[in-house]
Copies of this chain bind each other. A is one copy, B any other.
């Protein structure tokens, strides 16, 4: 399945901060076919460092999409049945307008003059895209991690536009620990002199700071157990300790590689803006309580969490479930056993597939 990225431009958007952004480009991909009644569309929402390329092989780079094991013919999100849409988030660096985009007012990259955005703003842009498609209601909105946060925001902000939601490994608001990990990443970037207050476009990006930020991220994506299984205390290409500060352990080599590889595909300022949006996200904002936030929600829900995920622990998904049950909403919840930590939603897909396939089938059956 060779897929192509598309871009649509919208005139402007009003943001939660009060600022206006104009214009806004949105990069997106689609898989499968929209049916005549436009009732089979599912919006897939990517996690922090993801992009619009969720499935298939990209026309440009030949790269497989980040959720290709979940989206395609016969897969959990069966493209023989459903029309899948995935767009890069506002503030991103993979086609949608973000801090690295050119500000038409100055002819230069926005950099840190880009307005601070929220998960609500991201979803507002997605709604413009769904309107542009002429889709009255999405059969489902789904994603893991920050993608799940967007799915929740959709269900709360546009209750009449979503039939169902599948938030995976996510939360209604970041805990102090989650904010803390994001803040460390931001500080690592801003501590790099090459960051230069965000003005590095066309020059040398803050590669070292961004790499350190990503290394921290990778530790939080895995579980203690999965790191033990994958690396243990194995040495990298040597029989004994080097007694120097080169790589000794496999896990050090892995982190350094992941850090430096990330720099080639992600913009440091997008790191700052997107983590900030995640930290600001609080579904109770403007509602007072979670139950109140869900008051107008009509969607049915499938919430999924993973037993070894300590970055978005199961108790956070259970908070969603309790609040929905308190509003008498239709919600199913499963904590899947997995060793993969937070990464599980991307890699441990067998049970996830069964759950989602069944949930979507019953959603179609029950759809008004």
Provide the A329-351 mask, 1 if CB < 8 A to any CB of B, else 0: 00000000000000000000000
Provide the A37-67 mask, 1 if CB < 8 A to any CB of B, else 0: 0000000000000000000000000000000
- Contacts A212-B191, A256-B187 hold; do A224 and B313 have CB atoms under 8 A apart? yes
Q: Which residues of chain B are near A251, meaning CB under 8 Å?
A: 176, 179-180, 183
A209 to B211, CA, bound (A): 13
A230 to B179, CA, bound (A): 13
Which interface class (under 10, 10 to 19, 20 to 34, 35 or more) fits A? 35 or more
- Most B-side CB within 10 Å, residue of A112, A241, A259: A241
Asked whether A228 lies within 8 Å of B279 as measured between CB atoms, the reply is no
Asked whether A227 lies within 8 Å of B180 as measured between CB atoms, the reply is yes
Q: Which residues of chain B are near A211, meaning CB under 8 Å?
A: 187, 191
Is A357 in the interface zone, CB < 8 Å from B? no
Question: A249: which of B219, B272, B279 is its contact (CB, 8 Å)?
Answer: B279
A259 to B191, CA, bound (A): 12
Is A193 in the interface zone, CB < 8 Å from B? yes
Asked whether B187 lies within 8 Å of A215 as measured between CB atoms, the reply is yes
Asked whether A188 lies within 8 Å of B188 as measured between CB atoms, the reply is yes
A282 to B233, CA, bound (A): 10
A279 to B251, CA, bound (A): 11
A328 to B309, CA, bound (A): 37
A184 to B181, CA, bound (A): 12
Question: Closest CB-CB distance, A337 to chain B, in whole Å?
Answer: 18
Is A174 in the interface zone, CB < 8 Å from B? yes
A186 to B244, CA, bound (A): 12
Provide the A168-205 mask, 1 if CB < 8 A to any CB of B, else 0: 00000111110111011011101111000000000000
A215-257: which residues lie under 8 A (CB-CB) from chain B?
A: 215-216, 218-219, 222, 224, 227-228, 230-233, 241, 243-245, 248-252, 255-256
| A115 nearest CB neighbor, chain B only | B243
| A182 nearest CB neighbor, chain B only | B252
Asked whether B183 lies within 8 Å of A252 as measured between CB atoms, the reply is yes
Question: Closest CB-CB distance, A199 to chain B, in whole Å?
Answer: 14
Is A81 in the interface zone, CB < 8 Å from B? no
Is A276 in the interface zone, CB < 8 Å from B? yes
Asked whether B190 lies within 8 Å of A245 as measured between CB atoms, the reply is yes
Provide the A253-276 mask, 1 if CB < 8 A to any CB of B, else 0: 001100100000000000010001
Q: Which residues of chain B are near A127, meaning CB under 8 Å?
A: none
- Contacts A176-B230, A184-B215, A231-B176 hold; do A192 and B190 have CB atoms under 8 A apart? no
Asked whether A177 lies within 8 Å of B227 as measured between CB atoms, the reply is yes
